[in-house]
Amino acid sequence: MSSPAAAKLAGKTVRRLGFGTMRLTGPGIWGPPTNEENALAILRAAVIAGVQHIDTADAYGPHTAEELICKALHPYPDDLLIATKGGFARHGPDRWVACGSPVYLRQCVELSLRRLNVESIDLYYLHRIDPSIPIADQIGELDQMRVEGKIKALGLSKVDLHQVEEARKIAPIAAIQNSFSIRNRDSEPIIRWCEQHDTAFVAYAPLEAGKWLHMKSSSSTADTLKELLAFSPAVFPIPGTSNLQHLEENLMAGLAP
């Protein structure tokens, strides 16, 4: 089915095709990019082209992607939504360890506020649920920071329906971020749930970490993203790239309101 190119995400109407920043860091999502000016140019080009949703995380680098966003885009346009995440500790390239300690999560939020240079984060995800800590403690601490005004809306990343329902008992959840692509539709039940509960589904790896760039023509890459946008009005794809040409090809999917 077809659907509008813009919809509400965390209470803000934005164009549904966003931009993910994970690939703007160094190899293994570790350290700075090999060419910082290129990374800054890509962020600016995305916003100039009409992207209104930038997705990042404190673990990308760590800290690198948030710092690049601030350097490239601050002061931010009024219509730009920046989403970030916390709850991962990084110990090296491609090494990710869930850490849901309430003390750690509060520190994550405070430092993201500082790096992004904002008073409140538009959308903040628990990057992963830490199985060693009660979910009520993790979501409860983030919700307390929402009440304090440090976070405007809460999200969950890489979760199943049971975890979503558990989290919703503790705090309002504005968005779910899971992987979703034309060939990987494991999250379809969650998308249908999101449709019924007025919740955004943010699709990461919509091009399967660049595989489509090697398998298909540029027009097919745009067509792939168009198909995801048409799959459900709840879906907000966030393709990411460190290549300006690839960015332009991805945006061919359309950013008209």
- Read off the pLDDT of residues 88-124 as tens digits, 9 standing for 90 and up: 999 999 999 999 999 999 999 999 999 999 999 999 9
Q: What is the Cα 60 distance to its own chain's centre?
A: 11
One DSSP character per residue, 107-158 reads: HHHHHHHHHHT-SSBSEEEESS--TTS-HHHHHHHHHHHHHTTSBS-EEEES
Report whether pLDDT(2) > 60. no
pLDDT at residue 1 in the model: 35
| Residues taking part in catalysis | 60
pLDDT band at 243 (very low <50, low <70, confident <90, very high): very high
Three-state secondary structure call for residue 15: strand
Phi, psi of 174 (to 5 degrees): -90, -25
Mean pLDDT confidence for 143-156: 98
Structure tokens at 49: 């082209």
Single out the residue of 22, 31, 38, 19 nearest to residue 202, CA to CA: 19
pLDDT at residue 223 in the model: 87
Mean pLDDT confidence for 185-204: 97
Query: Which of 65 and 223 is assigned the larger pLDDT?
Result: 65
Single out the residue of 64, 143, 141 nearest to residue 107, CA to CA: 141
Q: How far apart are CA 24 and CA 44, in angstroms?
A: 13
Mean pLDDT confidence for 236-254: 90
pLDDT averaged over the chain?
93
- Residue pointed to by tokens 């506020």: 113
Are the C-beta atoms of 227 and 185 separated by less than 8 Å?
Answer: no
pLDDT at residue 7 in the model: 95
Report whether pLDDT(70) > 90. yes
